[in-house]
Structure 1
Amino acid sequence: MKIKTLDKIGGVVFLFLTIAIIVIFLSDTSFFEWAFTRHQNTLSWYIRPLFIIPIVMGAYKKSYSLIFFSIFCLFTSMFWFPKPEIVDVKVIEFLNFEKTYFTSGWSIEKVIILATILAFFTAIISLTWSRRWYGLLATVVIGAFLKVAHSLLFSGGSGISIVKPAVLGLILCILVIYFIFKRRK
Structure 2
Amino acid sequence: MTKTVNIEKLDRLVLWLIGAILVYSAVIFVAAYLSGVHMGTWVWDRHQNQFSWYSRPIFMIPAAYYAYRRKLYHVFGLMALLATSLFWFDAPTTVSPTVSAYLQWEERLFFTNTSKLPLVALTLSVIIFLFLLFYAFWQRNVWYGLVVINAGTILKIIVSIAFGQEAGMASIMPSLTSLLIINLFAWVLYKRRPKPSPPQ
* Shorter-chain TM-score tier: 0.7 to 0.9
- Does the Cα contact within 8 Å between 2:48 and 2:91 map onto a contact in 1? yes
Question: What SS is found at the alignment partner of 2:166?
Answer: helix
- Does the Cα contact within 8 Å between 1:133 and 1:181 map onto a contact in 2? no
1:167 and 1:50 map into 2 onto residues whose CA distance is: 15
- Which residue of 1 is the match for residue 182 of structure 2? 173
State the 1:139 CA deviation.
Answer: 0.5
- Which residue of 1 is the match for residue 3 of structure 2? none
Question: What SS is found at the alignment partner of 1:57?
Answer: helix
TM-score, structure 1 as length reference:
0.77
| Structure 1: gaps spanning 5 or more residues | none
Tell me if 1:129 matches 2:119. Answer: no
Question: What SS is found at the alignment partner of 1:101?
Answer: helix
Residue type matched to 2:107 in 1?
A: K
Aligned length: 164
State the 1:114 CA deviation.
Answer: 2.4
Match among 66, 75, 79 for residue 58 of structure 1: 66
Structure with more relative contact order (C-alpha pairs < 8 Å, separation 6 or more): 1
RMSD: 2.6
- Does the Cα contact within 8 Å between 1:51 and 1:70 map onto a contact in 2? yes
- Bigger-Rg structure (1/2): 2
- Which residue of 1 is the match for residue 91 of structure 2? 83
Match among 120, 142, 145 for residue 154 of structure 2: 145
1:91 and 1:69 map into 2 onto residues whose CA distance is: 28
Residue type matched to 2:132 in 1?
A: A
Residue type matched to 2:184 in 1?
A: L
Question: What SS is found at the alignment partner of 2:55?
Answer: helix
Match among 111, 120, 124 for residue 115 of structure 1: 124
2:105 and 2:43 map into 1 onto residues whose CA distance is: 15
| Structure 2: gaps spanning 5 or more residues | 1-7, 196-200
Q: Percent identity?
A: 28
Deviations 1:145-170 (Å, cap 9, x if unpaired)?
01111211222211111211111100
Question: What SS is found at the alignment partner of 1:35?
Answer: helix
1:63 and 1:159 map into 2 onto residues whose CA distance is: 35
Higher relative helix content: 1
Match among 25, 40, 43 for residue 32 of structure 1: 40
Report the more deviating stretch, 42-51 or 164-173.
42-51
TM-score, structure 2 as length reference:
0.72
Tell me if 1:68 matches 2:106. Answer: no
